Amino acid sequence: MGRVALFGGTFDPPHLGHLIIAEAVREAMHLDRVEFLVAADPPHKRDVARSRFEDRLAMVELAVEGAPHFSVNASERRRSGPSFTVDTLRSRRADAPDQQLWFLMGADSLVDLPTWKAPTTIIELARLAVAARPGSQIDIGVLETQLPGIGSATDLINAPLIDISSRDLRDRVRSSRSIEYRTPKPVIDLIRDRGLYLVDSRATSQTILPIPRTTAS
């Protein structure tokens, strides 16, 4: 059977905060594996520019390389249209009906869950492993009125509050600031080699900016 959590996200780019949260949840829930599920077309970010799926997938593969309890799930590559969580979970249940399955999310995502597509079905297909996020407050009583059953389907995890975000890393690359020690070195190398995040979308001239190198690189 196995105890597995799916950790969905755009991972643009993945960073140490993702890895720390995944490990905290794995340890707390005694999981056999955490699968990093790379979203192809997240419906809540359809109007937000993002890197190509293949680039994001490659970065996640590098980020988890060598971690015995982490793996990468590229199943979204095969699906056209928006990447709805309920569809992913249905597919996973069909493939592994006896697996003990969790869906890993932050507290901010839990608050929004009642607005997702088929939220009742989501909590029927998988338990929710919810990690605390900076600035997020969880009122299970309020959520229960919006989505009955969510309380009994949720495992709250006391994960470290890591103040690192993908947006900050993208901004740092565009403004020639270091991203060392915020994401694994192989991810930094790939970002540099493929020239990711160099175009500043806020600049009318689409200026290309260099990634800073350190003496340690």
CATH (domain of 12): 3.40.50.620
- Integer CA distances (angstroms), 112 to 91, 136, 142, in order: 22, 11, 12
| Residue 167 belongs to a domain | no
**Residue 118 in tokens:** 């088929």
Torsion angle of C-alpha atoms 190, 168, 45, 119, degrees rounded to 10: 110
Taking every pair of C-alpha atoms in the chain, what is the biggest distance, in angstroms? 55
Which of 57, 72, 117 minimizes the C-alpha distance to 90? 117
| Residue 188 belongs to a domain | no
| Residue 33 belongs to a domain | yes
Write out pLDDT tens, residues 69-97: 999 999 888 777 787 899 999 999 999 99
If phi over 0 gives left and psi between -120 and 50 gives alpha, with beta otherwise, what is residue 118? left
Across the chain, mean pLDDT equals 87
Instruction: Quickly state the pLDDT bin for 138 (edges 50, 70, 90).
Output: confident
| Residue 132 belongs to a domain | yes
- Per DSSP, 199 falls in state B
| Residue 50 belongs to a domain | yes
Write out pLDDT tens, residues 155-178: 999 888 788 999 999 999 999 999
Instruction: Quickly state the pLDDT bin for 8 (edges 50, 70, 90).
Output: very high
State the pLDDT at residue 94. 93
The answer to whether residue 212 scores a pLDDT higher than 50 is no
**Range of 120's domain?**
3-157
What average pLDDT does this structure show over 124-136? Answer: 84
Give pTM, 2 decimals.
Answer: 0.86
**Residue 155 in tokens:** 């495992």
For the chain, the domain total comes to 1
State the pLDDT at residue 45. 60
| Residue 122 belongs to a domain | yes
State the pLDDT at residue 207. 32
Write out pLDDT tens, residues 15-74: 999 999 999 999 999 999 999 999 988 766 655 678 999 999 999 999 999 999 999 999
If phi over 0 gives left and psi between -120 and 50 gives alpha, with beta otherwise, what is residue 34? beta
